[in-house]
């Protein structure tokens, strides 16, 4: 059961072809850069002499892998994954990459996203004899590709055919004995980019992962595009491109992505600064200092301070050596972990009117404890600002938003939420302003979790 916590991040994918080998180590660094997208499990699969080997487990990248394991995972192609369970239970069997052996050989698959038609797809596959070993929709994608491979001349053709059966979000890496393939859903809900490092070709969820391995950004994979790498040669298949509106998940810019990443031409840090700017215009406050709830609130708080003219201050010190608050197994531990994870700089807030900027408010319970924490350190007033609009609807494309009856904005109006969390005032970014935070992006966006309007029909 989902407990009190912030939203869960997306998964992260990374893949590399490098004729010089040692791809597992590059993948390790790439996954380390993407750790913010998934802290539940991770894995790496490598291909050497047409033999795919892999290692995966529960835990952080630095805990799961060591020098001995990476040395054994030698190969000229590799695919890696960090995961949170948006669909499927939290268990080792659901860790990725998923390695599938079938009549045509073997493939490894890593996937970021969520299928809307997963139940229908599972029924269709079960009728044909599929026996599922995991509870993830990634396995359904793998079986669909394997099934289409039986009547296809190449693995990329089977991926091309499989996309006809997949509805929802998927940024996908498929590694066969000879090829590395990157594919993206026709709507482009989740990010996926390509880079180069000498003769090496790299795919990653975010550009920060390219930076971590010294790869130069080449371009984003187009929605619906399939990019095939074989022996360093790159081929693009665009059968499914430009058939759907390009609707990137807007929460990638507000929360999921690292601030130093660039997604579809838009710097994430800049988007959050812009959100903070509009938040200051829409919900000004008579205050002495602006502080952020780290880490994803930092850029928005800077934008708020810059626009309002209120000084920006460091209000919280974050302990980076403990797990996220929602991972704690008991209510008592979750209560204590807020104080363990965040401590307040008394000199910043004592006796002052404080604007506290956070990336979002989901259930409101974490915000309530954070406001209480600030008051216990002497804050005179606490004005809460959210750089995201109110969460009113579920997400069907990978964001792990609680059920509607658990969303605080479904139970209370803005004033009621403010009273619930103990704030002197509260403000949420408007939907109108939300549409202005990605001025340089080469895409539209999905804001269904805020508006209830989705680019894909939900049955």
User: What b/e string do you get for 219-248 counting C-beta neighbours within 10 Å, with b at 16 or more?
Assistant: ebbbbbbbbbbbeeeeeebeebbeeeebbb
In this structure, how many other beta carbons lie within 10 angstroms of the beta carbon of residue 89?
A: 10
Shortest CA distance to 424 belongs to which of 354, 361, 319? 354
Q: How far apart are CA 268 and CA 262, in angstroms?
A: 6
Return the closest-CA partner of residue 208 out of 223, 195, 222: 195
CA neighbours closer than 13 Å in the CB half-sphere of residue 39? 13
Q: Which residue do the tokens 């916590």 mark?
A: 5
Q: How far is CA 105 from CA 110, 126, 175, in A?
A: 17, 21, 11
Residue 14, CA distances (Å) to 28, 33, 208 in order: 9, 10, 11
**Catalytic residue status for 11:** yes
Collect all residues with Cβ–Cβ distance below 8 Å to 372 and sequence separation of at least 6.
422
Calpha distance 9→188 (Å, rounded) = 17
Give me the long-range contacts of 407-411 (CB less than 8 A, separation at least 24).
Answer: 407/362, 407/363, 408/361, 408/362, 408/363, 408/364, 409/361
Specify the residue for token string 């403990």: 322
Cα–Cα distance, 234 to 256 (Å, whole number): 29
In DSSP terms, which residues pair with 58 in a beta bridge?
41
Set 11, 395, 443, 446: catalytic member: 11
- What are the catalytic residues? 11
């Amino acid at each position: 059961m989902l407990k009190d916590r912030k939203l869960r991040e997306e998964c992260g994918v990374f893949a590399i072809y490098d004729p010089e080998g040692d791809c597992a180590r590059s993948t390790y660094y790439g996954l380390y850069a993407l750790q913010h997208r998934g802290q539940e499990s991770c894995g790496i699969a490598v291909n050497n002499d047409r033999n795919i080997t892999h290692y995966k487990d529960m835990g952080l990248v630095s805990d799961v892998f060591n020098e001995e394991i990476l040395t054994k995972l030698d190969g000229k192609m590799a695919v890696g994954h960090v995961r949170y369970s948006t669909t499927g239970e939290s268990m080792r069997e659901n860790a990725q990459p998923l390695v599938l052996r079938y009549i045509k050989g073997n493939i490894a698959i890593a996937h970021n996203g969520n299928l809307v038609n997963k139940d229908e797809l599972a029924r269709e596959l079960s009728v044909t004899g599929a026996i599922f070993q995991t509870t993830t929709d990634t396995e359904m994608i793998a079986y669909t590709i394997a099934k289409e491979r039986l009547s296809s001349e190449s693995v990329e053709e089977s991926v091309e055919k499989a996309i006809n059966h997949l509805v929802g979000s998927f940024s996908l890496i498929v590694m066969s004995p000879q090829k590395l393939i990157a594919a993206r859903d026709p709507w482009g809900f989740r990010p996926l980019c390509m880079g180069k490092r000498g003769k090496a070709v790299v795919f990653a969820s975010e550009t920060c992962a390219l930076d971590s391995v010294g790869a130069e950004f080449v371009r984003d994979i187009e929605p619906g595009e399939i990019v095939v790498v074989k022996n360093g040669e790159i081929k693009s298949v665009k059968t499914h491109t430009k058939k759907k509106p390009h609707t990137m998940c807007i929460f990638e810019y507000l929360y999921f992505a690292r601030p130093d990443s660039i997604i579809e031409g838009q710097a994430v840090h800049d988007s959050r600064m812009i959100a903070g700017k509009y938040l200051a215009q829409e919900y000004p406050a008579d205050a002495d200092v602006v502080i952020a709830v780290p880490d994803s609130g930092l850029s928005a708080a800077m934008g708020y301070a810059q626009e309002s003219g209120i000084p920006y201050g460091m209000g919280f010190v974050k302990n980076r050596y403990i797990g996220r608050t929602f991972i704690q197994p008991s209510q008592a531990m979750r209560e204590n972990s807020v104080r363990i994870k965040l401590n307040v700089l008394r000199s910043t807030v004592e006796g002052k009117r404080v604007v506290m900027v956070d990336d979002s408010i989901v259930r409101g319970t974490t915000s309530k404890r954070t406001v209480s924490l600030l008051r216990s350190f002497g804050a005179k007033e606490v004005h809460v600002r959210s750089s995201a609009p109110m969460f009113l609807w579920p997400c069907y494309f990978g964001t792990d938003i609680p059920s509607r009856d658990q969303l605080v904005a479904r139970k209370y109006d803005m004033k009621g939420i403010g009273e619930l969390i103990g704030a002197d005032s509260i403000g949420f970014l408007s939907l109108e302003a939300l549409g202005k935070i990605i001025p340089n992006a080469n895409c539209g966006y999905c804001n269904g979790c805020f508006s209830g309007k989705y680019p894909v029909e939900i049955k």
